[in-house]
């Protein structure tokens, strides 16, 4: 059985965004639901827009958007040194130099973080899954903010890319370094674990609770196993935990294909809508769907990062899931742990999860109406559950 790999261990930017003119083609795109045809939902298909590898054009709509509103709530935080960047980042197909938003800064990466609640309250960090964004916790944050200081952040690489003129540079919600240009999208090399540690050190100097959803759970648990003294609680939401979870679902694995995956990852509907709605009973509103599409509408670099991360996940997930299960079942694991499970998850089967929790003495909470991305389907309910869990003191 694979052993857990070794681990070693702000600045605010302007929050106003200019709104360039653009047009949008309103065309119905049908996404299926497990509830049947009568409850299928429709989202509007945008024109291809942006300044990326496959797109040309401007912003996808006129006027302020939900992305702008979300950006205004957050701040940019610098954490984790840029290592190994050699020259300009280039696309992996033709070697063309990517835009400024895809290039690494000279010192530290920039992370987009949204905070809610008084800084005097107990801290809780919310980590989104793959593929997703901190935006997925938009309904959880207000609930947690009543009694806690909650922080959600965007991972490096798979996240929002909005290029705007400001002092002749461009910035995104979180940096999207290209592979081998300051960041290696590999779980095996512990890149994400080290990066998470650097960000946590900036955000939270004291003890805190940690919440993580989906396929980034093994990465976060690896960090947590080395820093249990910092943790009050760990909450895992639909983590890949069992032996039948070691393969990426086909809707995510297809992004790792060098040619087909590169093309599909540049399509906003395939990279966001279809990936998110294929794993649960989602009834996503159009304005929310546009937030998830935006990185792929504005820059090809987001699709390249998605391709690289999918390849790393496909290759290394089995070893990390086995290590995760071993850690949670070991006598050295002392952190109070709760597993929340959306019972309508189409990607990860529930088989064996209840038995594992009982054998390992971990609390299990079932959410009957939620899919893989529980925070999307049952955000307020999940917020109340997390608040109750981390408010209890031994």
Q: Read off the pLDDT band of 306 (50, 70, 90).
A: confident
> In the chain, what are the domain boundaries?
69-391
Taking residue 262's Cβ as centre, other Cβ atoms within 10 Å add up to 21
Question: Do residues 49 and 298 lie in contact, with contact meaning Cβ atoms separated by under 8 Å?
Answer: yes
d(CA 127, CA 182): 22
Question: Do residues 159 and 295 lie in contact, with contact meaning Cβ atoms separated by under 8 Å?
Answer: yes
Nearest to 300 by CA among 333, 250, 262, 266: 266
Average pLDDT over residues 269-286: 83
At a CB cut-off of 8 Å and minimum separation 6, what does 333 contact? 225, 228, 327
At a CB cut-off of 8 Å and minimum separation 6, what does 53 contact? 91, 93, 96, 98, 266, 300, 301, 303, 304
pLDDT for 221 equals 94
pLDDT for 76 equals 87
Taking residue 10's Cβ as centre, other Cβ atoms within 10 Å add up to 15
pLDDT for 9 equals 34
pLDDT for 81 equals 76
Q: Edge-to-edge strands of the sheet including 123-127? A: 74-81, 108-116, 149-153, 123-127, 208-213, 231-237, 336-342, 363-367
- Please give the residue that has the higher pLDDT: either 92 or 350: 350
HSE on the CB side for 54, CA within 13 Å? 19
pLDDT for 104 equals 53
- Please give the residue that has the higher pLDDT: either 305 or 15: 305
At residue 340, the 3 state secondary structure works out as: strand
Average pLDDT over residues 329-346: 96
Q: Read off the pLDDT band of 240 (50, 70, 90).
A: very high
pLDDT for 114 equals 95
Positive or negative, the CA dihedral 352, 356, 359, 365 is negative
Residues 162, 65, 284, 73: what is their CA dihedral angle, to the nearest 10 degrees?
Answer: 70
Positive or negative, the CA dihedral 23, 282, 222, 185 is negative
At residue 28, the 3 state secondary structure works out as: strand
Average pLDDT over residues 107-131: 91
Two structure tokens written together for 223? 């960090």
Average pLDDT over residues 243-251: 93
Whether 175 has a pLDDT exceeding 70, the answer reads no
Average pLDDT over residues 240-260: 90
Helices (H), 258-368: 260-264, 268, 275-277, 286-298, 301-329, 353-360
d(CA 208, CA 278): 33
Question: Do residues 296 and 302 lie in contact, with contact meaning Cβ atoms separated by under 8 Å?
Answer: yes
d(CA 165, CA 169): 6
Question: At 213, which helix (H) or strand (E)?
Answer: strand 208-213
> With respect to CATH, is domain 69-391 assigned 3.40.50.11540?
no
Beta strand 231-237 with 208-213 is parallel
- The per-residue pLDDT of the chain, averaged, comes to 75
Q: Read off the pLDDT band of 137 (50, 70, 90).
A: very high
pLDDT for 87 equals 56
Q: pLDDT tens digit string along 76-89?
A: 888 877 765 545 65
Q: Which of 89-93, 288-292, 345-349, 364-368 has the lowest mean pLDDT?
A: 89-93
Residue 60 φ/ψ region, left for φ over 0, alpha for ψ in the -120 to 50 degree band, beta for the rest: alpha
105-114, 116-125, 307-316 — most confident range = 116-125
28-42, 145-159, 327-341 — most confident range = 327-341
Q: What are the distances in angstroms from CA 110 to CA 131, 223, 388?
A: 19, 20, 32
- Please give the residue that has the higher pLDDT: either 67 or 230: 230
Whether 99 has a pLDDT exceeding 90, the answer reads no
Two structure tokens written together for 252? 């995510």
Q: Read off the pLDDT band of 182 (50, 70, 90).
A: very low
pLDDT for 144 equals 97
At residue 77, the 3 state secondary structure works out as: strand
- Please give the residue that has the higher pLDDT: either 94 or 32: 94
Vertex 220 angle, CA 215 and 225, to 5°: 135
Q: Read off the pLDDT band of 94 (50, 70, 90).
A: low
Whether 379 has a pLDDT exceeding 90, the answer reads yes
pLDDT for 242 equals 96
- Please give the residue that has the higher pLDDT: either 341 or 166: 341
């Amino acid at each position: 059985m694979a052993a857990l790999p070794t681990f070693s261990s702000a600045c605010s930017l302007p929050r106003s965004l200019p709104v360039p003119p653009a047009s949008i083609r309103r065309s119905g795109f049908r996404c299926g639901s497990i509830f049947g045809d009568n409850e299928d939902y429709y989202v509007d298909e945008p024109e291809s827009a942006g300044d990326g590898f496959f797109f040309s054009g401007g912003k996808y709509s006129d006027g302020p958007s939900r992305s702008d509103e979300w950006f205004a709530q957050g701040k940019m935080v610098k954490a984790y040194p840029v290592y190994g960047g050699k020259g300009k980042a280039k696309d992996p197909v033709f070697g063309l130099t990517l835009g400024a938003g895809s290039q690494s800064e000279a010192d530290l990466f920039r992370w987009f973080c949204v905070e809610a609640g008084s800084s005097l309250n107990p801290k809780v960090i919310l980590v989104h899954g793959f593929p997703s964004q901190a935006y997925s916790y938009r309904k959880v944050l207000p609930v947690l903010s009543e009694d806690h200081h909650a922080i959600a952040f965007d991972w490096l690489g798979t996240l929002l890319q909005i290029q705007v003129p400001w002092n002749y540079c461009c910035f995104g919600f979180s940096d999207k370094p290209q592979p081998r240009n300051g960041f290696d999208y590999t779980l095996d090399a512990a890149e994400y674990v080290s990066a998470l540690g650097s960000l946590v050190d900036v955000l939270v100097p004291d003890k805190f609770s940690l919440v993580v959803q989906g396929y980034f759970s093994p990465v976060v648990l690896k960090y947590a196993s080395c820093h249990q003294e910092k943790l009050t609680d760990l909450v895992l939401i639909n983590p890949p935990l069992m032996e039948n979870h070691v393969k990426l679902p086909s809707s995510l694995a297809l992004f790792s294909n060098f040619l087909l995956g590169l093309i599909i990852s540049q399509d906003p509907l395939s990279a966001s809508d279809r990936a998110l709605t294929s794993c649960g009973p989602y009834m996503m509103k159009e304005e929310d769907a546009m937030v998830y599409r935006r990185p792929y509408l504005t820059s090809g670099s987001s699709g390249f990062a998605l391709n690289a991360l999918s390849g790393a996940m496909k290759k290394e997930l089995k070893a990390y899931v086995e290590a995760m299960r071993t850690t949670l079942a070991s006598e050295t694991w002392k952190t109070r742990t709760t597993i929340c499970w959306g019972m309508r998850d189409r990607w990860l089967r529930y088989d064996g999860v209840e038995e594992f929790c009982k054998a390992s003495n971990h609390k299990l909470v079932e959410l009957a109406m939620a899919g893989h991305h529980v925070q999307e389907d049952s955000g307020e309910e999940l917020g109340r559950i997390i608040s109750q869990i981390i408010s209890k003191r031994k």
